[in-house]
Structure 1
Amino acid sequence: MTGRLRRLKQLLAGGWSRTALALPFLALVMIVALDLTSKSEVTVEPALTSAPALAAVVCRRTWYPLLVGGVTVVCAFGMAAYNGVLTESVHTASVLAVVLVTVIGWISAVLRMRQERALADARLVAEIAQRVLLRSIPDRVGSVRAAVHYAAAAAHARIGGDLYEVVNTRHGVRAVVGDVRGKGLGAVETAAAVLGAFREAAHQEQALDRVAGWLADSLDRSLRENGHDRLGEEFVTLVMIGVRPDGIAEIVNCGHPAPVLLRGGEPVRLLEPLSPVPPLGVLPPESVRPPVRCTAFLPGDRVLLYTDGVIEARDGRGRFYPLLDRLPGCARTGGPGEVLDRVHEDVVRHVGRQLGDDAAMLLLQYEPVVVPEQLPRPNGHVPQRG
Structure 2
Amino acid sequence: MGAQWQRSHALLVIPVVLIVVITVVDQLLPADVHLGPLLVIAPAITASFAGPWGTGLIGLLAMGAQTYIGWHFGVLFSRNVLVQILALAVLSALIVFFCVVRERHRRQLAQVRSVAEATQHVLLWPLPEEIGPLRIACLYLAAEDEAQVGGDLYAATSTDHGVRVMIGDVRGKGLAAIGEAALLIGAFREAAHQHADLPALATALEQSVSRNLSDLEPEEESGERFATALLVEVPESDHVTRVISCGHPPPLLLSPGSAVSVPVHPALPLGISGPAPADHAVDVFSFQPGDTLLLYTDGVIEARDGTGAFYPFAERVAQWAGNGPDRLLHLIRHDLLAHVGGRLDDDAAVIALARGPDAHRGRRHHGARP
Common fold, TM-score beyond 0.5?
A: yes
What is the aligned partner in structure 1 of residue 239 from structure 2? 247
Equivalent residue for 1:213? 203
Alignment TM-score, normalising by the size of structure 1: 0.85
Q: Take 1:204 and 1:261, find their aligned partners in 2: how far apart are those partners?
A: 28
- Is the contact made by 1:239 and 1:252 (CA closer than 8 Å) also made in structure 2? yes
Alignment of 1:195-344 (within 5 A): 195-226=185-216, 228-229=218-219, 230-245=221-236, 246-265=238-257, 267-274=258-265, 276-333=266-323, 335-344=324-333
C-alpha contact 2:217 2:225 (8 A) present in aligned 1: no
- C-alpha spacing 1:72/1:345, structure 2 compared with 1 (3 Å): same
Higher helix share: 1
Q: 1:35 aligns with which of 26, 37, 52?
A: 26
Following superposition of structure 1 onto structure 2, how do residues 1-386 of structure 1 map, counting pairs within 5 Å? 20-39=11-30, 41-59=32-50, 61-226=51-216, 228-229=218-219, 230-245=221-236, 246-265=238-257, 267-274=258-265, 276-333=266-323, 335-367=324-356
Indicate the percent of aligned positions where both proteins have the same amino acid.
38
Per the alignment, do residues 285 and 140 of structure 1 end up closer, same or farther by CA in structure 2, a change over 3 Å counting?
same
Secondary structure of 1:304's counterpart equals strand
RMSD: 2.4
Q: Distance in 2 between matches of 1:304 and 1:330?
A: 12
| 3-state SS, counterpart of residue 31 of structure 1 | helix
Preserved CA contact (<8 Å) 1:179 1:238: yes
Change (3 A) 1:241 1:231: farther
Relative to 1, partners in 2 of residues 1:362 and 1:306: Cα closer, same or farther, differing over 3 Å?
Answer: same
CA separation of 1:184/1:324 partners in 2, compared to 1, >3 Å: closer, same or farther?
closer
Q: CA deviation at 1:110?
A: 2.4
Number of residue pairs matched by the alignment: 356
Q: Which amino acid aligns with 2:204?
A: W
Distance in 2, matches of 1:282 and 1:154, equals: 26
Q: Distance in 2 between matches of 1:16 and 1:150?
A: 32
Contact in 1 for aligned 2:171/2:226 (Cα 8 Å): yes
Unaligned residue ranges in structure 1 (runs of 5+)? 1-10, 372-386
**C-alpha separation between the residues in 2 aligned to 1:153 and 1:18?**
36
Instruction: Check whether the contact 1:162–1:359 (CA below 8 A) recurs between aligned residues.
Output: yes
Conservation of the 8 A alpha-carbon contact between 1:52 and 1:98: no
In structure 2, C-alpha distance between the alignment counterparts of 1:124 and 1:299, rounded to whole Å: 39
Give 1:67 shift.
1.1
* Secondary structure of the corresponding residue to residue 192 of structure 2: helix
More displaced 10-residue stretch of structure 1: 45-54 or 73-82: 45-54
User: Taking structure 1 as reference, are residues 36 and 331 closer, same or farther at Cα in structure 2, changes over 3 Å only?
Assistant: farther
